[in-house]
Structure 1
Amino acid sequence: MATNASPKFRDPDFHPEYHHPDLNKIPHDGLHFWQFMIAGSIAGIVEHTAMFPIDTLKTQMQARSCSSPSVNLRQALRSVLTHEGPTGLYRGIAAMSLGAGPAHAVYFSVYELCKKFFSSRNPNSHNPVVHAVSGVFATIASDAVFTPMDVVKQRLQLRNSPYKGVVDCVKRVLREEGFRAFYASYKTTVLMNAPYTAVHFATYEATKRALTEVSRESANEELVIVHATAGAAAGALAAAVTTPLDVVKTQLQCQGVCGCDRYSSSSTWDVIRTIVRKDGYGGLIRGWIPRMLFHAPAAAICWSTYEASKNFFQKLNTSKMHS
């Protein structure tokens, strides 16, 4: 979930001048800070809701204990539909909604602020280093918000989950494992999302520029297609590269539940060594197909929705200026 958020393809040296006094309080792209947050929140909820069934299958594949046989995507889908029905694909979606909205609001707003700061107040410059660094800061902040609800979501997604719902899961985890259980995977999550963001940004920028060069004259008309295609390529590649860390994150979040292994340490390297010893190196790439199937369209959906929300607020601000 990371790309250049500029709403139009434009010359990097083109900076429109605004002379309305209220715009002194408005950051780049003509949006208020709170509008970035709302746009990001909408994008996050739409993205995760649309792709939630795939995320459920990924979680069940990755959380298998050493005593459970490995399953492929088709077997995981058949298992869920057979034992729980179609609704089983959406267990934990309430926890996702509670976490994804605020987390994406934080992600996009921090990203926009950092991009403006690190680019010397020229947020529309095409500097991949600035984009990557801004994305890393945004990731650290948003993961701190999302990780607790991600723990709840993944435990509810497990087959034969012992929890009745979000509230029951939160209460039981607090009572049985303590507050630290909600952040047992935080370091691994940040360690995973930092390179994910860097790969995502680099791939997105390169793909977007290549697509824009193909048809520069109609770049504005093809904006949605370009964002979707570049986002899908970036999401798929970044997801594939960071799958081993995602497996570690899932196992840390689901440890001790439904037969999943429990670890004495939350150290990423300790978990990796345990997985390799019991399942071989193949255990580190469990769920890589559904992870790619999730992140490719998810990135396209997320950024298309984010841009659409931003455009709505831009038109709203413009209409207020001229009213």
Structure 2
Amino acid sequence: MISETSSIPLYSKNYFLACSIGGILACGPTHMLVTPLDLVKCRTQVQPGLYKGVFDGWKTITKVEGFRGLFTGIGPTAIGYSLQGAGKYGFYEVFKYKYSNLVGEEAAHKHRTLIFLGASASAELIADVLLCPMEALKVPYTMVKFASFEKTVEILYKTFMTRPKHEYNKSQQLGVSFAGGYIAGVLCAVVSHPADVLVSKLNNLDKVKAGEHQTTALEVIKKLGLRGLWTGLGPRIFMIGTLTGLQWLIYDTFKVAVGLPTSGSSDPAPAENIKIDEV
């Protein structure tokens, strides 16, 4: 069993700080890990048919650019996504707590999915300022990532587990966190893929000179067609599913290490008898 008591009071300033640190550990290293896969995915979106598949892409890149070529851009990736992870996970908990208190405990329980969606969207907007304003296009992605994770974990405990969450040991709870994260990642990949393809195409357009026609997003969509917008979905599902599963696993492992409960399968609002530190 995991004890629900902690030296860090729930919803205190130190609690939100711990969640931010967990976000750094969850996002920075995992995005570094999948850099080779992301590199092939992006190049395939920009130039369809460039590689026969992921492994062919890695083989070609290694042959032409050397092994280090597989990790092109890993430095900025580590810094950017560490900052984004801190903002995304930390502020998600802040907004989840704030919105829950705003509407009241009963309403927060009844409409908890809306609380999850609103908190994740708000957190993503702040996190994107730390990474790149263009990342604001990923707000729907993050809404799905957090809300579907919370709902999936809730369903796993209610449907497939035979006892209340707190009666399972650390390894079992963390296993549920990984499973919930992986499923959430698959949903994220499907929801956000067309926008991801579009951004990759727009970023690869040649710069136009003054007076020349600037290609619009609508023109790119018409050129790609419906099928083209889903180019590279397979590798992206594998990448985002694995990435998101690992992120939730690392995040919850850190929370457990500092004495906090794992995420999901609970109401977004704190109990009324818990003393809260103001943020």
TM-score (norm 1): 0.66
CA gap of 1:89–1:231, structure 2 versus 1, over 3 A, is same
Distance 1:282 1:86 in 2: 33
Q: Which structure 1 residue ranges, 4+ long, deviate > 6 Å from structure 2?
A: none
**Match in the other structure for 1:83:** 64
**Match in the other structure for 1:224:** 174
Corresponding residue to 2:142 among 197, 207, 219: 197
Residues 252-277 of structure 1 show CA distances to partners (whole Å, capped at 9, x for unaligned) of: 334339xxxx9826xxxx32432432
**Match in the other structure for 1:73:** 53
**Structure 2 unpaired stretches of 5+:** 261-279
Secondary structure at the aligned position of 2:258 is classed as helix
CA gap of 1:89–1:29, structure 2 versus 1, over 3 A, is farther
Fraction of identical pairs, as percent: 22
Deviation of 1:203 after TM superposition, in Å, equals 2.9
Deviation of 1:94 after TM superposition, in Å, equals 0.4
Deviation of 1:85 after TM superposition, in Å, equals 3.2
CA gap of 1:34–1:250, structure 2 versus 1, over 3 A, is same
Deviation of 1:200 after TM superposition, in Å, equals 2.8
Distance 2:245 2:14 in 1: 22
Corresponding residue to 1:128 among 105, 113, 131: 113
Distance 2:96 2:203 in 1: 31
**Match in the other structure for 1:61:** 44
Deviation of 1:30 after TM superposition, in Å, equals 8.3
CA gap of 1:102–1:206, structure 2 versus 1, over 3 A, is closer
Alignment of 1:249-260 (within 5 A): 249-256=199-206
**Match in the other structure for 1:215:** 161
Deviation of 1:134 after TM superposition, in Å, equals 0.5
Deviation of 1:111 after TM superposition, in Å, equals 0.8
CA gap of 1:38–1:238, structure 2 versus 1, over 3 A, is same
Answer whether contact 1:252 1:263 (CA < 8 A) is retained. Answer: no
CA gap of 1:125–1:86, structure 2 versus 1, over 3 A, is farther
CA gap of 1:282–1:303, structure 2 versus 1, over 3 A, is same
CA gap of 1:69–1:47, structure 2 versus 1, over 3 A, is closer
TM-score (norm 2): 0.76
CA gap of 1:263–1:73, structure 2 versus 1, over 3 A, is farther
Answer whether contact 2:186 2:241 (CA < 8 A) is retained. Answer: yes
Deviation of 1:44 after TM superposition, in Å, equals 1.0
The one-letter code sitting in structure 1 at the alignment partner of 2:202 is L
Q: CA RMSD in A?
A: 3.1
